[in-house]
Amino acid sequence: MFLPITKEEMIERGWEEADFVLVTGDAYVDHHSFGTAIIGRVLESRGYRVCVLPRPDYKSAKDFMRFGKPRLGFLINSGVVDSMVNNYSVFKHRRKKDEYAPGGKPGARPDRALIVYANRAREAYKGVPIIIGGIEASLRRLGHYDYWSDKVRRSVLLDSKADLLIYGMGERAVVQIAEALEAGLDIKDITWIRGTCYKGKTAPEGDEWINLPNFDKIISDKREYARSFAIQFRNNDYVSAKGLAEQYGSGLWVMQNPPQPPLEQNELDDVYELPFQNREHPSYNEQGGIPAFSEVKFSIVSSRGCFGGCSFCALTYHQGRQVRGRSKESIVREAKRLTEMKDFKGYIHDIGGPTANFRGAACSKQIKKGVCTDKDCLFPKVCPAIKADHSEYMDILQSVRSIDKVKKVFIRSGIRYDYLLADPNCDKFMEELCNYHVSGTLKVAPEHIAPSVLKHMHKPSKEVFLKFCEKYKKTNEKLGKKQYLIPYLISSHPGSTLRDAAELAVFLKDYGFVPDQVQDFYPTPGTLATCMYYTELDPLTMKPVYVAKTLEEKKMQRALIHFHKPENRRLAETALKKAGRADLIPILFSHKYHTRKRK
């Protein structure tokens, strides 16, 4: 049974009121890839009555009264994706499709949805607690650079006028908040829960708190903004982090409690085996379903967190660097349930997480002492303390593919190849990967190859990528398979000049790679690279960083990566001349495009 999304469905359950109304900018898909479904089911498992208000009409407060006044409060998120990222391309054009809307039809989600929804909820029922969460709340929890307005904005806790903000993975925090409200506490007195931000009137006291540069400083001084971000970046682990406080004028502070510990294996198993319907709400059937659901319908989440440390990724800020994985038994049970679905064709599209081949803590030290605050696990090289071991993941893959009705198990969430190469038994995993889990092409993410760009991306060197390419090639030759690699790349990342883009183009020409996907760098809130983009400084070293900010240069860098497309030739030639590399024009545009067959 789905959680109610209408008053009629609520009444059918025999409820006179809801304990919580869970508001989201997405359509309601009852599947564990959607945070709304997870939070709703977790609260339901604790005995709370939860109604879901998906994609509400935000033009008035009427829709927010659909279920009547919630007994305990509104829980509000903007959806799986930040609403501004969902609504706009990197060039700030309105997107023509909303993957999380019925039939992909755009337009029903407001810009800055979290602020809009929270204010409408307040208008509907004054005095009802409002708790915001999800990715938009998590990445905007303190003062942050906003790419779309090109300015530093206040904490979304203030602009939304919410009472409490949950950041990170919110299952444990939301249950603790629910229990406190149930016990009769006023929402304004719930200030101790990890993984939350709240408003205060005075500066916090004690060694367990750090005062960040105040908001007036970070909007007027980019060095202060970078300094503030560096403090946040280094205080994001549940073991070592202190509370953070950011002042807004006199008498107003936003306080960030330290993060919640990650859910351990048995807790993850419990969450992912809650009674999800594993489908869209039936009301969307006639509208064409939800496009994003088709991508995950036959996929299995096996882990959370990522110690990869890519500077352009917000996972460090949202899920954290502490990785935890589900048990093999839980994953196999879910796979068996997938095979019983009427439209299962024998293919499981993914078993993975933020990075598929991460299954647990990077090293034993992390469990007791937390992640290192002054260095990465994999950058600039793999840390000697890391425990690179794929045996458990191989066992899981083998067990799932041996299930009756399973024809193939793919790995679509990405392999971190430097971590793979660090495994003493990597050859065995490579054989398993190439023999059973690749179908023609494997997509990997070197992102770039120029040393200065990789340094600012916190990605491994070109030589590590080439080593992986060679191992992949030889493994396929040994197995008698013709399978290829397709690289994911990012253009115009902080640190990337036109000369760096030209170097990447020559690399692609030399090795015969035709990039399938090139993403222009998108400065989303909460990432190290976005701080670099705004401040033109590396906040961890305070050294200057080159940033391509004009539309003209961004288009030229992208054209160089896709130089093989006829429509890009003129712009690519212009870029090479501007970079002082006109000598590369005859090399890149010779008829011998693939000097080496893709390997």
Please list the residues that pair with 487 across neighbouring strands: 444
What is the reported pLDDT for 597?
A: 40
Rounded to 10°, the helix 551-561/569-578 angle is 110
At 203 the pLDDT is 87
Under 8 Å CB-to-CB from 162, ≥6 apart: which residues? Answer: 76, 118, 130, 131, 132, 156
- For the stretch 154-157, contacts whose Cβ atoms lie closer than 8 Å and that sit 24 or more positions apart, written own/partner, are 154/215, 154/248, 155/197, 155/246, 155/248, 155/254, 156/114, 156/115, 156/132, 157/132, 157/197, 157/198, 157/199, 157/254
Q: The domain spanning residue 377 has which CATH number?
A: 3.30.750.210
Residues 6+ apart with CB under 8 A from 283: 5
pLDDT confidence of residue 593: 46
pLDDT in tens, the chain (599 residues): 999 999 999 999 999 999 999 999 999 999 999 999 999 999 999 999 999 999 999 999 999 999 999 999 999 999 999 999 999 999 999 999 999 999 999 999 999 999 999 999 999 999 999 999 999 999 999 999 999 999 999 999 999 999 999 999 999 999 999 999 999 999 999 999 999 999 999 988 899 999 999 999 999 999 999 999 999 999 999 999 999 999 999 899 999 999 999 999 999 999 999 999 999 999 999 999 999 999 899 999 999 999 999 999 998 889 999 999 999 999 999 999 999 999 999 999 999 999 999 999 999 999 889 999 888 999 999 999 999 999 999 999 999 999 999 999 999 888 999 999 999 999 999 999 999 999 889 999 999 999 999 999 999 999 999 999 999 999 999 999 999 998 999 999 999 999 999 999 999 999 988 887 789 999 999 999 999 999 999 999 999 999 998 999 999 999 999 998 999 999 999 999 999 999 999 999 886 544 444 43
Q: Estimate to the nearest angstrom the gap between the alpha carbon of 552 and the chain centroid.
A: 28
Domain that holds residue 76: 7-192
- In this prediction, residue 591 carries a pLDDT of 63
Phi, psi of 460 (to 5 degrees): -65, 165
Rounded Cα gap, residues 258 and 193, in angstroms: 9
- Provide the pairing of β-strand 151-153 with 144-146: antiparallel
DSSP 162-210: -SEEE-SS-HHHHHHHHHHHHTT--GGG----TTEEEEESS---STTEE
Mark whether 188 and 314 lie in a shared domain. no
The DSSP secondary-structure symbol of 330 reads: H
Distance CA 115, CA 411 (A): 37
In the structure encoding, which two tokens stand for residue 538, read together? 């590396």
Give a yes or no: residue 135 inside a domain: yes
Beta bridge pairs of residue 491: 520
* Bond before 380 cis per omega within 30 degrees: yes
Burial class (CB in 10 A: 0-12, 13-18, 19+), 20: buried
Q: Give me the residue label for tokens 């337009």.
A: 107
**Confidence at residue 514, expressed as pLDDT on a 0 to 100 scale:** 84
393: in domain: yes
**Torsions phi, psi for 526 (to 5 deg):** 90, 0
Residues 172 and 307 in one domain: no
The answer to whether residue 444 is domain-embedded is no
**Same structural domain for residues 183 and 320?**
no
Say whether both 188 and 323 belong to one domain. no
Cα 566 to chain centroid distance, Å, stands at 34
In a domain, 517, yes or no: no
Domains in the chain, number:
2
Q: What gap in Å lies between CA 42 and CA 63, rounded to an integer?
A: 24
Would 107 be classed as within a structural domain?
A: yes
Other C-beta atoms lying within 10 Å of the C-beta of residue 15: 16
222 occurs within a structural domain: no
Q: pTM, whole model, 2 decimals?
A: 0.95
Domain boundary among 439, 471, 502: 439
Residue at 343 is within a domain: yes
Domain CATH code at residue 179: 3.40.50.280
371, 459, 565, 584 from 506: Cα distances, Å? 38, 20, 15, 8
C-alpha to C-alpha distance for 457 and 493, rounded to whole angstroms = 8
User: CA angle 7-8-14, nearest 5°?
Assistant: 95
Domain termination site, one of 192, 223, 245: 192
Which pLDDT does position 590 carry in this prediction? 80
pLDDT at 395: 97
CB-CB contact of 8 with 14 (8 Å): no
Q: Which of 192, 221, 245 is the last residue of a domain?
A: 192
Note whether 460 and 379 are within 8 A (CB): yes
Structural domain contains residue 596: no
Same domain, 132 and 13: yes
